[in-house]
Amino acid sequence: MPKTTKALLHGSLDALVLKTLSFGPRHGYAIAKWLAEHSGEEIRVEEGSLYPALYRMERREWIQAEWGKSELGRRAKFYRLTAKGRRQLAAETEEWLSFQGAVGRVLQMG
Amino acid sequence: MPKTTKALLHGSLDALVLKTLSFGPRHGYAIAKWLAEHSGEEIRVEEGSLYPALYRMERREWIQAEWGKSELGRRAKFYRLTAKGRRQLAAETEEWLSFQGAVGRVLQMG
DNA sequence: GGCCATACCTTGACTATCTAGGCATCGTGG
DNA sequence: CCACGATGCCTAGATAGTCAAGGTATGGCC
């Protein structure tokens, strides 16, 4: 794996995971891989961040878990987006775009 | 003041403050106002976040403090960017752009 | 047999931010 | 004259999210 990604993840992790699940149910390990692949390795989620985040979101009923089998036949816990989670994703995405948009504009001011 | 901006500030505050100071020395209160004004009130930094951040950055020698008088003649502590701080700003800006760029691309995936 | 990839989980430390206060000065309106 | 809002600084405590570093177990491959 490349270099250190720092703590910029803070505040965007939930949205990223929800977004990943919006393309269909996935298990934890697969979520991390999907994010890494679709961000050119820029987004690397540590397991110590991912699993607690998944519990958090399950508690808030944004996602639902179910045990199943991975593509390789292993025991794996699949998460799928709930309706509530879909609304949350929309809200967080909008919030992220407007806030980080503002940050980006300030940082790039001449 | 408008509505709640949430906790999305995490990880971008340092860069924002450094950026503000890159246009010339300012005191704490003025930094917060400047950021609010130049972001359409999108970025609102609480004082409880700002002052500790300023000490942190002073300790790291990214900025230097000096007591002076505000435009209104009040006692105020002015901060100015050091050479080290300028390098830090460049590094953090680049990091922010690449990381949040990746986040934005993922969140906006069709 | 040993090792790597897959897949899950937990503990502890750290750090940054927010909430919510407090202090002091000044100008203005009633 | 006095109250109040704006200016300007500071701090304590709570919270929360992330990371580092461990641990378990299975399967495939050399």
Q: What is the mean pLDDT of residues A71-96?
A: 95
Q: Hey, of B5, B13, B95, B100, which one would you mutate to test binding to chain A, going by the most A CBs within 10 A of its CB? A: B100
Cβ contact, residue pair A96, B102, below 8 Å: no
Residue of A nearest to B21 (CA): A107
Distance CA A49, CA A13 (A): 9
Q: Which residues of B touch A93 (CB under 8 A)?
A: 107-108
Cβ contact, residue pair B16, A105, below 8 Å: no
What is the phi-psi region of residue A73: left when phi exceeds 0, alpha when psi lies from -120 to 50, beta otherwise? Answer: left
User: Could you give phi then psi for residue A105, rounded to 5 degrees?
Assistant: -65, -40
Separation in Å: C28 C1' and A98 CA: 37
- pLDDT digit string (tens) for A2-46? 334 456 888 899 999 999 999 999 999 999 999 999 999 999 999
Q: Hey, of B34, B107, B108, B109, which one would you mutate to test binding to chain A, going by the most A CBs within 10 A of its CB? A: B107
- Among A27, A31, A110, A18, CA closest to A74: A27
- Among B72, B68, B90, CA closest to B81: B90
Separation in Å: C11 C1' and A14 CA: 22
| A71 Cα to chain B: minimum distance (Å) | 24
Percent of chain A whose pLDDT exceeds 70: 94
- Please give the pLDDT value at position B1: 35
- pLDDT digit string (tens) for B40-84? 999 999 999 999 999 999 999 999 999 999 999 999 999 999 999
- Please give the pLDDT value at position B64: 98
